[in-house]
């Protein structure tokens, strides 16, 4: 039987030499990405732990990029492009949710072999996660303190805290669309955590009672709910993963661990959009 000649992609025009030209690895800076993992112990599972968190931060970077663009579109009144961006953010959190399944293959015994090497570092200190919360409207000034030691990061977060949130812009869009939103809401201190408002609730209820008339606002509302839905699932999976691995021990960053994370499950980003469902 005659052996087949191995396939040579260059015969079909594939580029095979990259001396002086940009390659896949060059474009993606893989030399930086793939050498950014520096385990501090000899434990096999530490590499999993590092990659899980590094890739999560990359997805969060994209989520922040898309949220900022969506907010800008809503603020300008060009709402339709925001729908695609918010859908993408929801799918990013779906991806982040799937990542917990990989981390959960690490047993409590596995984690104890390198936990001490983490020192006081903790996901609680993720400034990108905090930025996502701030951009969505959950602004808690106390959460700025873990970042005071890095002035650039602290200043960046403070800038986001002082800006309108994604939800603030959605509410302002309601007002521009003719709905009666209270002056107290429209002129509130946007650096403070968002609190539910009866005029906002009434406006969204009217939108949901007549979707055909207010289709753009109705679709925006559902995109916001979709985003928060996946965001909540991510927080829930975080809680269950931590409980599975360390039980009710304190977190490496000093938080109460599972107890703290469960408290975060009670935070609602867009309260009126959830509450109105009982009124329809």
Q: Is 18 annotated as a binding residue?
A: no
Q: Is 176 annotated as a binding residue?
A: no
Residue 180 belongs to some domain of the structure = yes
Residue 135 belongs to some domain of the structure = yes
Could you give the CA distance from residue 117 to residue 248 in angstroms, rounded to a whole number?
20
Determine what percent of the chain falls in helix, strand and coil, rounding each to the nearest 5: 65, 0, 35
Place of tokens 């800006």: 163
Interval 158-186: pLDDT, tens? 999 999 999 999 999 999 999 999 999 99
Q: Is 194 annotated as a binding residue?
A: no
Q: How far from chain centre, in Å, is Cα 39? A: 25
Could you give the CA distance from residue 76 to residue 173 in angstroms, rounded to a whole number?
9
Residue 22 belongs to some domain of the structure = no
Residue percentage of the chain with pLDDT more than 70: 93
Residue 243 belongs to some domain of the structure = yes
**Domain total of the chain:** 1
How high does pLDDT run on average in the chain?
A: 91
Q: What is the mean pLDDT of residues 3-26?
A: 84
Place of tokens 């990542």: 99
Q: Find out whether 139 and 168 touch, Cβ atoms under 8 Å.
A: no
Out of 9-18, 49-58, 67-76, 131-140, pick the least confident. 9-18
Interval 222-271: pLDDT, tens? 999 999 999 998 888 888 887 887 676 666 666 656 666 677 667 889 99
Domain membership of residue 94 as a residue range: 44-278
Report the pLDDT value the prediction gives residue 241, as an integer from 0 to 100.
81
Q: What is the mean pLDDT of residues 93-116?
A: 92
Q: Is 201 annotated as a binding residue?
A: no
Report the pLDDT value the prediction gives residue 25, as an integer from 0 to 100.
93
Sequence-distant (≥ 6) Cβ neighbours of residue 14 within 8 angstroms: none
Q: Find out whether 166 and 71 touch, Cβ atoms under 8 Å.
A: yes
Report the pLDDT value the prediction gives residue 143, as an integer from 0 to 100.
87
Q: Find out whether 53 and 123 touch, Cβ atoms under 8 Å.
A: yes
Convert 72-81 to b/e letters by CB count within 10 Å (16 or more is b): ebbbeeebee
Q: Is 111 annotated as a binding residue?
A: yes
Residue 133 belongs to some domain of the structure = yes
Q: Is 160 annotated as a binding residue?
A: no
Residue 263 belongs to some domain of the structure = yes
Residue 13 Rama label (left phi>0; alpha psi -120 to 50; beta): left
Q: If pLDDT is split at 50, 70 and 90, which confidence band does 31 have? A: very high
Q: Is 2 annotated as a binding residue?
A: no
Residue 148 belongs to some domain of the structure = yes
Selection from 162, 167, 231, 215 nearest residue 195 by Cα: 167
Q: Is 260 annotated as a binding residue?
A: no
Q: Is 205 annotated as a binding residue?
A: no
Residue 201 belongs to some domain of the structure = yes
Q: If pLDDT is split at 50, 70 and 90, which confidence band does 44 have? A: very high
């Amino acid at each position: 039987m005659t052996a087949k000649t191995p396939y040579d992609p260059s015969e079909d025009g594939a580029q095979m030499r990259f001396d002086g030209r940009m390659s896949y690895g060059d474009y993606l800076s893989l030399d930086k990405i793939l050498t950014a993992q520096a385990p501090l112990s000899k434990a096999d599972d530490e590499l999993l732990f590092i990659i899980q968190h590094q890739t999560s931060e990359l997805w969060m970077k994209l989520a922040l990029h898309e949220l900022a663009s969506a907010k800008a579109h809503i603020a300008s009144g060009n709402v339709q492009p925001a729908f695609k961006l918010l859908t993408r953010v929801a799918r990013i959190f779906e991806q982040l949710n799937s990542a917990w399944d990989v981390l959960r293959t690490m047993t409590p015994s596995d984690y104890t072999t390198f936990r001490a090497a983490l020192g006081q570092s903790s996901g609680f200190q993720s400034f990108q996660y905090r930025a996502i919360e701030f951009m969505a409207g959950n602004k808690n000034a106390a959460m700025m303190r873990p970042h005071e030691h890095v002035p650039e990061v602290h200043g960046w977060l403070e800038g986001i805290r002082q800006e309108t949130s994604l939800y603030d812009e959605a509410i302002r869009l309601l007002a521009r669309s003719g709905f009666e939103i209270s002056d107290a809401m429209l002129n509130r201190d946007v650096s403070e955590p968002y609190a539910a408002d009866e005029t906002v609730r009434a406006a969204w209820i009217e939108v949901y009672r007549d979707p055909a008339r207010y289709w753009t606002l109705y679709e925006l509302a559902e995109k916001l709910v979709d985003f928060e839905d996946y965001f909540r699932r991510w927080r829930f999976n975080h809680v269950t993963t931590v409980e599975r691995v360390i039980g009710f021990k304190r977190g490496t960053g000093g938080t109460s661990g599972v107890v703290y994370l469960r408290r975060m499950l009670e935070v609602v980003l867009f309260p009126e959009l959830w509450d109105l469902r009982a009124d329809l």
